[in-house]
Amino acid sequence: MASTIQPRLFKGCRDALPEDMIPRREMLEVMTRIFETFGFAPVETPAIEFLDILLGKYGEEGDKLIYPLAYKGGRTLALRYDLTVPLSRLVAMHPELPRPFKRYQIQPVWRADRPQPAQGRYREFYQCDVDTVGSPSLMADAENVAVCYRVYEALGLLDDEAGLVMRVNNRKLLRVLVTAAGLDADQDKTVCTALDKIDKIGREKVAAELDEKGISADATHRLFQLIAVSEENGGRPTATLEALRATLEGVPGAGEALDEMAALFDGLAALDVPDERLRFDLVLTRGLDYYTGPIYEFQLTGLASFGSLGGGGRYDDLLSIYGVGDIPATGVSIGLSRVQSALVKLGRLESRKSPTRALVLHLEDVPQTTSLRLATRLRGEGIPTEVWFEPSRFKKQIQHAVKLGIPFVLIQGPDELERGVVQVKDVRQGRQVEVMESDLADHLRSAD
């Protein structure tokens, strides 16, 4: 006897059961509809990319999280880490694509993280990306945020219990702040990764980390003062913007960065994204290296420890790596898997185990082909129908419907057949009515 194989999954990967897939499909319908409303066109890329296509784009930390694949003795391949870099590669390979190229893409990505289900963190998860390649306009960035806003709105995440917040900032502005604090502009990455943690670990620990990295206490102090501006103004776009204009007057580059933010907020207003939803947050930095301009990240205040539900930004320099010259681009990603986990955690997801609306019960005296004919008629009317195949007791058949959440069971024995009727039992309420065969489809459609 051959030894058995233990069925198991790689850490951080999950199966999606019907009760997961049914709501997911509904979410996908909502998303694709909204994406297409904005004029984004669908695209897919392979799960596997050459390793050098991916390396060096995400930063030191990001590179470590790329899954390399062993192939023919080498490690030249990898699973994609996000959808932005594969998109850049795709655009570089297709110079004929009319620009601006607006595309959306919904596919899984893989990260060699430590999984933490409670925070919605997995190694394999779905991203839904929307990008505009070939336009430097801040209006494209505004659309990124707006399209996400519409999705979260449609999924019901705007109420106080969920508390969606859309944080926005700008890499250029961060560089300005770094210089304004008396530091070298290229120290911005070091500073940013430290600053990013300020909400979680507090000022003192961030100061300690900066000290370790060789940043003077004086510069750190000035940085903290500058960054406090957004918090002091509650992150309100206009107030924060005005305060920064005053604070950063005369600082080189400050005008351009703040003009960008002003344009972004104007665009968002025109796209009907309410101001109250936005937080101009100078602490937001984002870890990926490729961002160059506006950046954004979306979270739920109702699930504070939960990871972000989406984020993105402008990456004007990424395409040039593939030797196609300077092509500006900006994009955003919604974490489908994480959004779904969040909805589950909030108890918002009604999950069915089957799409079936009616189950035709098996009766001893009725040939199976008769049941199949009934099912075929209903299916032709668009009613999801299944047939019980075994000669089981009614108890078992009805229980099956209950377990799967099938609302109706249909009983048609010799007597009903002769009279051209069907017994329709609503297993949720236990009510049973006799319905003419000709009215059956309408009855099943409307009854609820």
Partner RNA sequence: GAGGAUGUAGCUCAGUUGGUUAGAGCGCCAGGUUGUGGCCCUGGAGGUCGUGGGUUCGAUUCCCAUCAUCCUCCCCA
435 is a contact residue toward RNA (CB under 7 A): no
Cβ closer to RNA: 258 or 361?
361
CB atoms within 10 A of CB 244: 24
Q: Is residue 88 close enough to count as binding RNA by CB under 7 A?
A: no
- CB of 112 vs RNA, minimal distance in Å: 8
In the complex, least distance from residue 337 CB atom to RNA, rounded to whole angstroms? 6
Among 101, 122, 290, 315, binds RNA (CB under 7 A): 122
CA distances from 209 to 184, 224, 264, 265 (A): 17, 14, 32, 33
Q: What is the DSSP string of 279-307?
A: EE-TT---S-TT--SEEEEEEEGGGTTS-
Q: Minimum distance from CB of 259 to RNA (Å)?
A: 25
Find the binding residues for RNA in span 209-268 (CB under 7 A): none
Using rule CB under 7 A, residue 402 touches RNA: yes
CA 282 – CA 170 distance, rounded (Å): 8
Classify the C-alpha dihedral 279-287-134-88 as positive or negative. negative
Contact status: 370 vs RNA (CB under 7 A)? no
Tokens (6 digits) for 136: 């430097």
Phi, psi of 372 (to 5 degrees): -65, -35
Q: Check whether the bond before 68 is cis (ω within 30° of 0).
A: no
- Quick check: helix, strand or coil at residue 69? strand
CB nearer RNA, residue 13 or residue 41: 13
Does 302 bind RNA (CB under 7 A)? Our answer is no
Closest to 84 in 3D by CA, of 297, 304, 313:
313
Report if residue 75 touches RNA, rule: CB under 7 A: no
108 binds RNA (CB under 7 A): no
Binding of residue 405 to RNA (CB under 7 A): no
- The answer to whether residue 72 forms part of the interface with RNA (CB under 7 A) is no
For RNA, the binding residues (CB under 7 A) are 11, 61-62, 82, 111, 113-123, 125, 127, 193, 196-197, 200-201, 285-288, 297-298, 305, 307-312, 333-335, 337-338, 363-365, 392-396, 398-399, 402-403, 411, 413-416, 423, 425, 427-430, 432
